[in-house]
A and B are shown apart, each in its own frame.
Chain A
Amino acid sequence: RKEVEQDPGPFNVPEGATVAFNCTYSNSASQSFFWYRQDCRKEPKLLMSVYSSGNEDGRFTAQLNRASQYISLLIRDSKLSDSATYLCVVTGEWDMRFGAGTRLTVKP
């Protein structure tokens, strides 16, 4: 079983749609959680951290459920520029473990 699992998608949604991605992790000792964004053939870039109480950054909302070892990302009012692969990231004692990513395509 992978340490961090994501639905690979692809998710194809129209502009303005709301889309949600889920991620599960296996290490209950994990300490920090993030969503990264990766554009095609580019490096991953931090989108947002995920806090226990849930947090929002504009159109993006992240949630963490430690009991279920589950992380989510909600994107509201999708833009064409949101098209990318979204990586769920979980840190352990010294390292980060990445999910394989969920691919999103937003269409006009």
Chain B
Amino acid sequence: NAGVTQTPKFRVLKTGQSMTLLCAQDMNHEYMYWYRQDPGMGLRLIHYSVGEGTTAKGEVPDGYNVSRLKKQNFLLGLESAAPSQTSVYFCASSQSTDTQYFGPGTRLTVL
């Protein structure tokens, strides 16, 4: 099993550009999550999904959109990137609200 994978690993964007981050899990987990991690802030939840076709806002959802069209995939979109979105993005999945398994992260820089 690959566990949780994320693409891309690194990306540099210019302000105003858009992009989509892809998260995939092969553990048949119901729950999936997108976090961002900034120095001194800890991980903060952006959006999450409790099952295929469902999404919900987390702690810091503004400027991001998500979709969960297939159970194994959770996409995070930035429609118009801003420098404040420079961060490391982690995807995670879990079977319940218990232990989460994280992907390797995507390092995004917005210039």
Contacts and interface: CB of A to CB of B under 8 A. Distances in A.
Interface stretch (A52-60, A61-69, A91-99): A91-99
Interface string A71-108: 00000000000000001000101111011110000000
Interface stretch (B13-21, B40-48, B69-77, B79-87): B40-48
Contact of B99 (A34, A41, A87): A34
A100 B100 CA distance: 17
B104 A42 contact: yes
Interface string A38-52: 000111111001000
B40 A100 contact: yes
B38 to A, nearest CB: 9
B14 to A, nearest CB: 24
Interface residues of A, number: 22
Contacts of A46: 99-101
Contacts of A44: 43, 90, 102
Nearest to B45: A95
A94 B58 CA distance: 10
Given A42-B104, A43-B104, A44-B90, A98 B42 contact: yes
Given A42-B104, A44-B102, A45-B102, A94 B48 contact: yes
A36 to B, nearest CB: 9
Contact of A43 (B33, B59, B90): B90
Interface in B17-42: 33, 35, 40-42
A100 B35 CA distance: 13
A8 B99 contact: no
Interface of A: 2, 4, 8, 32, 34, 41-46, 49, 87, 91, 93-96, 98-101
